[in-house]
A = this chain, B = another copy of it.
Amino acid sequence: MAEDFVVTPWEVTGDIDYDVLMKRFGTAPIDDALMARISKYGEPHFMLRRGIFYTHRDLDILLNDYDKGNRFYIYTGRGPSGNTHLGHLMPWIFNKWVQDTFKVPMIFQLTDDEKFLFKDLTLHQTTDFAYENALDLVALGFDPDKTRLILDTKNIETLYPLALAVAKKTTFSTAKAVFGFGNDTNIGRIFFTAMESAPAFLPTQIEGKETKVLIPCGIDQDPHFRVTRDAAPGLGFPKPCMLYCKMAPGLSGGDKMSSSDENATIYTTDTPKQVKKKVGRAFTGGCVSVEEQREKGGNPEVCAVYKYNYFLFEHDDGKLKEMAEKCRRGEVLCGECKVALTQKINVFLENHQAKREEAKELVDKMAFNGFKW
């Protein structure tokens, strides 16, 4: 069954057909005209060129407003249920490109409350993970003057009135339809979507005038922002504009990198040895024997090593294409690709881990309203 997949903020299963998902959610494709328009602000990021960020809501309206000289805000976030892996960095790297290209402020929400409510974790654990995740975000080089980190339990005094306003306009029927909640759902989970809506309205509150917001994030978050967008007009806020990406794949070949399989997940704090071991075990599109692969070639479409290059590590479209062709022609073996990817990842992580150390000072500076971690 082609549509046999599930994508919600808390569950991604099955083989995702992203075109079907776009239709199901009712979002718009990023067509050639929109791509041409984006190009006017700067060379489109490879994640746009490759259709990783592939669908949107009202991006054109946001750009119309920007062209009139109105600055927007970026808002994105992370549910701190574990340590940061490379899949988490993917949309954050794109967000940095948006910040650099449009010179705009960013709000980054860490939903320690959400992960407490949805996972078998204590609030201490989710708050600790939030700090670790924040170090990784900051390490990517976001502008410290223009970027603010929100931790739900620490910034709740600011968020709560906005969340209440959204909650007052959102019935259980809606939450049930959008998220699939039932009688056994806890009442915190039912309320939580209001907390994810709140930061989308903060920029207008901070600026004291209608201020648009762009939310670049995984398409699995769309259910939340449908609620946000429905509530916005009645509360006197502009609807947030959305820019959605596909899920980063795991090393075992699945559709979404997941912390539940530690051996198929590369964390930002992994050592070169760990990376080598994990990449070494990755699922590829190669044949069972060297001879067969030399003769028939491999299949990059299903290869996790190729996907890692596609989603994160090979920014040059020409080189990526060459990589795929060489594979198909049997000119390169899986072992060689694994060695090359391992090296790329380790070079990236060496730099990232150094920046992550420096981030320990910056996370305090970037805490919204100066909260203490």
Chain A interfacial positions (CB closer than 8 Å to B): 113, 116-117, 123, 153-154, 156-157, 160-161, 163-165, 167-173, 175-176, 181-191, 193-194
A156-B156, A157-B156, A157-B157 known; A190-B172 Cβ under 8 A: yes
Chain B residue at smallest Cβ distance from A170: B187
B184 and A164 within 8 A (CB): no
Q: Is the Cβ of A171 less than 8 Å from the Cβ of B187?
A: yes
Picked from B164, B169, B182, the residue with its CB within 8 Å of the CB of A172 is B182
Knowing A156-B156, A191-B191, the reply to whether A186 touches B171 (Cβ < 8 A) is: yes
**Contacting residues, chain B, for A188 (C-beta < 8 A):** 163-164, 167-168, 170, 191, 194
Q: How far is the CB of A213 from chain B (nearest CB, A)?
A: 22
24 A-B Cβ contacts within 8 A? A116-B164, A117-B164, A117-B168, A154-B157, A156-B156, A156-B160, A160-B160, A163-B188, A164-B188, A167-B187, A167-B188, A167-B189, A167-B191, A168-B188, A170-B188, A171-B183, A171-B184, A171-B185, A171-B187, A172-B184, A173-B183, A187-B191, A187-B193, A187-B194
Q: Copies per complex?
A: 2
- Other A-B contacts than A153-B157, A170-B188, 16 sampled, CB-CB below 8 A, are A113-B160, A117-B164, A117-B168, A163-B188, A164-B188, A167-B188, A167-B189, A171-B184, A171-B186, A171-B187, A172-B183, A172-B187, A172-B190, A173-B184, A187-B194, A190-B190
Chain B residues with Cβ below 8 Å from A157 are 153-154, 156-157
Query: Are B167 and A186 in contact, CB atoms less than 8 angstroms apart?
Result: yes
Contacts of A191 in B (CB 8 A): 167, 187-188, 190-191
Instruction: Look across to chain B and name the residue whose beta carbon is closest to the beta carbon of A155.
Output: B157
Question: Smallest Cβ distance from A340 to chain B, in angstroms?
Answer: 46
Q: Are A161 and B123 in contact (CB under 8 A)?
A: yes
B residues less than 8 Å from A184 (CB atoms):
171-173
In the complex, chain B residues whose CB is within 8 Å of the CB of A170: 186-188
A196 → chain B, closest Cβ, in Å?
A: 12
Residues of B near A194 (CB, < 8 A) are 187-188
Q: Which residues of B contact A176 (CB under 8 A)?
A: 183
For A185, give the chain B residue with the smallest CB separation: B172
Q: How far is the CA of A147 from the CA of B360 in the complex (A)?
A: 41
CB distance from A155 to the nearest CB of B (A): 9
User: How far does the Cβ of A126 sit from chain B's closest Cβ, in whole Å?
Assistant: 10
